[in-house]
Structure 1
Amino acid sequence: MKKLNFFDKLLFFINSLVAVLLLFTYALPFIDPEKHPTIAILSLAYPAIVITNCIFLVFWILKLKVQFLLSTIVLLIGLSTFNAFFSFDDKEVIKDNDIKLLSFNVRRFNVYNWIKSPTVKQDISDFINKQNPDIVCFQEYTNEKNVHIKITNSYVYKTSASGIAIYTKYKILDKGAINFKNTANNIIYADLKINKETIRVYNVHLQSFRLDTQKKHYGDKDNEALIKRFKSVFSEQSHQIKVLKKHIQDCPYKTIVAGDFNNTAFSWNYHEIMEGRKDAFVEAGINFGKSYHYFFPFRIDFILPDNSMEVGKFTTYDVNLSDHYPVMARINLNN
């Protein structure tokens, strides 16, 4: 430190704080937000914290300073979690009996004209039909008149404010909803007959933050109110994940979980639901897998098949049709 000037010492102090924050994020998957909701906020900050540490690492290397070791060591400690943030491999293994599952939060088909285009609903229909998926999981599915999806079978579940739907080319043997009190967010499932096997698909829309990214404090009156909202949402999400996990444990079939988790792969929610399953992005994705329209690379939409299944391809589509980007995976059931 003696060889650092005052400005460099200040930067290293900030670097140290950011490094400590990154260490905290590594512990988040083991801390239940229902008990400790405040610290769970760091799960959303993970992309910024990792990128900041990478910037400091490069900065100190360019200055030929040994201080680069701090961020290097902290990043290496969490190297096993990095593939959930960024993928270098673009896997593509196509098999004839793969199923194509697409998940998309359509933001009510732009009913309030967030995107300045009168054709968003038709554009979404055209996009889905062009990709020709076997299964589609829609979140915030409402105002569905004149939505022309060329898939025969569907299960649409409506709430007072929004809806959620599963469209499929396969026969629906059974279906149902996991309802949560005092919220428009919920989970539905459908048991599908696929290649002589029954597979249950869960379409998940966990508790939303309902942030207005264009306003100060994201629509709250101050930061204190914003943090209070975050804590409440994290607590609700934790409860919803516990209910979902119990429901999956009671299911007699193999399952695929997909949808909008409103949280990242560095959260307790993700860690809990990942037991016995794969993350399609980790298996076959590329780059950040960003699924939410924001300047940070948030990946909050997931496709999570059973461990026994193989993921041959994963795609995030960069289309401006919602505040989310659609994601699709090719999955081989190995049956």
Structure 2
Amino acid sequence: MAGTFKEIRKKVWLILNILVVLWLLLGVLCLRVPPYEFWPAGFVAFSLPGALVLNFLFLIYWLWKRSWYVFLPLAVIGLGWNYYGRLVAVNWEKELPQGAKTLQVLSFNVHIFNAYEKIVKGVPEVSEEMVDWVATHPADVFCLQEFYSRVNSTEFNNFNRIGKRYNRHVFASTYKSDRIVSDVGVVIFSKYPIIRGNTIYFANTSKRSANRAAWVDLNVNGDTVRVYAVHMQSMSIKAEDIENTYSAIGDEASFKKESRNLARRLRMGFKARAMQVQQLLEHVQASPYPVIVTGDFNDIPFSYTYSQLLKEMNNSFEVAGTGIGTTYNGVLPFLRIDNQFYSKGLEAYDFTTHYDMPLSDHFPISATYVIKPKGEE
């Protein structure tokens, strides 16, 4: 009798493992579906990390049971290793080639340098510690989203404090805020000369939106590299939205209302970013130079947006980073929504998430790239 129950339990676990594998396959397929054509695909893809973790737990379980069923989750891990690489990066430190031409790029959503609350109160202030951290960082290029600079102000003029004071070249894609006269938007600072630059205004946002992309062509000691700073549509989920949903558990009507609100916000974001990434990639594909695409993409690695970018370029964290690489400094844990991608002609040799700078709702990220000599691309 005990043997019968043991066999039944084993078969139940096998069926559950098969269901997880089917979940994984469905999620991978949904990564290819534009959410603006079929929005439920965005939610299925969003759930992929859960399936990947469960499959790994099944591997441990079957190993513990010393069952030949271990080959099922093992085969999934082998065939889907690239997807596990999106979840956790494992890379050894690489030495730069002798005499290599390098370019270090910092990307950081600076959260208006924490001026939001002060602007509302009519007393504009910025986090001087954050400004100084950026200004003194050794990177060659800074790609800053939600940049803020107060016009006609010495104290809050961050174009001067980060750029002019350190003889950096600058390209700004900003708009004037309504509440006080200030510049807000996406800005690129560079120690190398900027040959040209422009803005990509997303078709589904206004020109007064912070969601946009700026690009510049840089003269890096005779080589031209195109760098993009991108800020895509926000998830628009606030801490109170999460808290309200959790607190509504037990109250069916309230929980349904709050969960529908979260789902609606996620759905709108999936659709908006899927359209924005198509517009961005059209521009990237037309570049005559190697490109680095940085920014706050507001989408996790298991999304249509990320997958489309990965089809065209390499992800710097996956190639040269280590660990989970969380970049969102908020109530939702383990989110990597800030990224750097790069094309042929470049190679990432180092990637760092700067947890030592926790003053924004995003952590800064930086990567060092080697510019390959022509003929080795």
Is this a same-fold pair by TM over 0.5?
yes
Structure 1 distance, partners of 2:317, 2:56, is: 22
TM-score, structure 1 normalization = 0.86
Instruction: Please tell me whether residue 171 in structure 1 is matched to residue 193 in structure 2.
Output: yes
CA deviation after TM superposition for structure 1 residue 60, in Å = 4.5
TM-score, structure 2 normalization = 0.77
Q: Deviations over 1:137-170 (max 9, x none)?
A: 1111125625432352112222466511111111
More helix as a share of residues: 2
Instruction: Indicate if the aligned counterparts of 1:44 and 1:263 stay in contact, CA closer than 8 A.
Output: no
Instruction: Please tell me whether residue 308 in structure 1 is matched to residue 345 in structure 2.
Output: yes
Determine which of 133, 140, 143 is the counterpart of 2:139.
Answer: 133
1:326 aligned partner, one-letter code: P
Q: Deviations over 1:100-130 (max 9, x none)?
A: 101111122122469xxx9972222332244
SS at match of 1:92: coil
Any unmatched runs of 5+ in structure 1? none
CA 1:194/1:113 → structure 2, altered by over 3 Å: closer, same or farther?
Answer: same
Q: Deviations over 1:234-253 (max 9, x none)?
A: 11111111111111233333
1:131 aligned partner, one-letter code: H
Cα root mean square deviation, aligned: 3.1
Quick one: percent identity of the two aligned structures? 27
**Map of 1:212-231 to 2, 5 A cutoff?**
212-214=238-240, 215-217=243-245, 221-231=257-267
Instruction: Indicate if the aligned counterparts of 2:100 and 2:370 stay in contact, CA closer than 8 A.
Output: no
**Map of 1:118-157 to 2, 5 A cutoff?**
121-143=127-149, 145-147=156-158, 148-149=161-162, 150=166, 152-157=168-173
Instruction: Please tell me whether residue 245 in structure 1 is matched to residue 281 in structure 2.
Output: yes
CA 1:26/1:139 → structure 2, altered by over 3 Å: closer, same or farther?
Answer: same
1:154 aligned partner, one-letter code: V
Structure 2 distance, partners of 1:242, 1:302, is: 17
CA deviation after TM superposition for structure 1 residue 132, in Å = 0.9
CA deviation after TM superposition for structure 1 residue 224, in Å = 2.0
Q: What's 1:53 paired with?
A: 55
Q: Deviations over 1:284-316 (max 9, x none)?
A: 111122222355422221111222212121111
**Map of 1:267-306 to 2, 5 A cutoff?**
267-293=303-329, 296-306=333-343
Structure 1 distance, partners of 2:195, 2:284, is: 17
CA 1:194/1:6 → structure 2, altered by over 3 Å: closer, same or farther?
Answer: same
CA 1:44/1:131 → structure 2, altered by over 3 Å: closer, same or farther?
Answer: farther
Instruction: Indicate if the aligned counterparts of 2:115 and 2:125 stay in contact, CA closer than 8 A.
Output: no
**Greater RCO structure (CA 8 Å; 6+ sep):** 1
Structure 1 distance, partners of 2:25, 2:94, is: 34
Instruction: Indicate if the aligned counterparts of 1:23 and 1:74 stay in contact, CA closer than 8 A.
Output: no
Report the count of equivalent residues: 332
Q: What's 2:371 paired with?
A: 333
SS at match of 2:360: coil
Any unmatched runs of 5+ in structure 2? 119-123, 151-155, 178-183, 248-255
Structure 2 distance, partners of 1:119, 1:62, is: 57
CA deviation after TM superposition for structure 1 residue 173, in Å = 1.7
Instruction: Indicate if the aligned counterparts of 2:62 and 2:69 stay in contact, CA closer than 8 A.
Output: yes
CA 1:10/1:127 → structure 2, altered by over 3 Å: closer, same or farther?
Answer: farther
Structure 2 distance, partners of 1:133, 1:121, is: 20
Comparing 64-73 and 24-33, the one that deviates more = 64-73
CA 1:194/1:226 → structure 2, altered by over 3 Å: closer, same or farther?
Answer: same
Structure 2 distance, partners of 1:168, 1:100, is: 10
1:193 aligned partner, one-letter code: N
SS at match of 2:260: helix
